[in-house]
Amino acid sequence: MSLRLGDTVPNFTQASSTGDIDFYEWAGDSWVILFSHPADYTPVCTTELGAVAKLKSEFDQRNVKPIALSVDGVESHQGWIGDINETQNTTVNYPILADADRKVSDLYDMVHPNANNTLTVRSVFVIDPQKKLRLTITYPASTGRNFAEILRVIDSLQLTDHYSVATPVNWQDGGDCVIVPSLKDPEVLKEKFPKGYTEVKPYLRMTPQPNK
């Protein structure tokens, strides 16, 4: 199954390090980051899982729940979590799905045969509260993920869902935004953007971030 942006992601029930999880029920009204790992006791993954645990307060501020996946079983996960906590000086505070049967990996197209026929690639899925897929990023097994970038994208998605703006290149929270081209009426622009805006070109209008 190939998931595309805007698709409703499939539900599943799967074992995890914190017990069986019905994905839709577990996600509730939160945003979700689902991210996969090739196997337990792998070095790059150990650093990633530790980093995500340390970002709990950042995810909480954004109403985001992280959930990881690895193709090994629950018992293996529990041993690995001990290593993660020890080596990364943290406490893993979110579930790791145990996908030994590859059920979730296949549902979310996490195995790319030309990269490796048995192991999942480093997939990242950002899913909104309506269970719509909003972002996918796929990293090779050798490259650790940039969770600062993932947080930046979530900030952009949550901002642009509520205001008539898009975020420009290298945008960071608090930076100027782009007014969407579909807005033309001067009165509407004045109402929506009381801080004003700069017209660089008719199609490129910059405004201070509306919610700051």
Query: Which class does domain 13-144 fall in?
Result: alpha beta
- One-letter amino acid of 168: P
DSSP code of 38?
Answer: S
Q: Which CATH number fits domain 163-207: 3.30.1020.10, 3.40.50.300, 3.40.50.150, 3.20.20.70?
A: 3.30.1020.10
Pull the structure tokens for residue 42: 């792998």
Number of helices (H) and strands (E) in the chain: give both, helices first: 7, 11
Catalytic-role residue among 21, 27, 34, 45: 45
Residues forming CATH 3.40.30.10 domain(s) in the chain: 13-144
* pTM attached to this predicted model: 0.92
Helix-helix angle 147-162:43-54, to 10 degrees: 40
Model pLDDT for residues 21-73, shown as the tens digit of each residue:
999 999 999 999 999 988 899 999 999 999 999 999 999 999 999 999 998 99
Q: What is the rounded distance in angstroms from the CA atom of residue 181 to the CA atom of residue 110? A: 35
Q: What is the rounded distance in angstroms from the CA atom of residue 187 to the CA atom of residue 170? A: 30
| 177 noted as active-site residue | no
C-beta of residue 48 within 8 angstroms of C-beta of residue 145: yes
Residue 106: predicted pLDDT: 87
Work out the mean pLDDT of the chain and round it to a whole number: 93
The torsion region of residue 149 among left (phi > 0), alpha (psi -120 to 50) and beta comes to alpha
Print pLDDT tens along the chain (212 aa).
588 999 999 999 999 999 999 999 999 999 999 999 888 999 999 999 999 999 999 999 999 999 999 989 999 999 999 999 999 999 999 999 999 888 998 899 887 544 454 555 578 999 999 999 999 998 887 889 999 999 999 999 999 999 999 999 999 999 999 999 999 999 999 999 999 999 999 999 999 999 98
Residues forming CATH 3.30.1020.10 domain(s) in the chain: 163-207
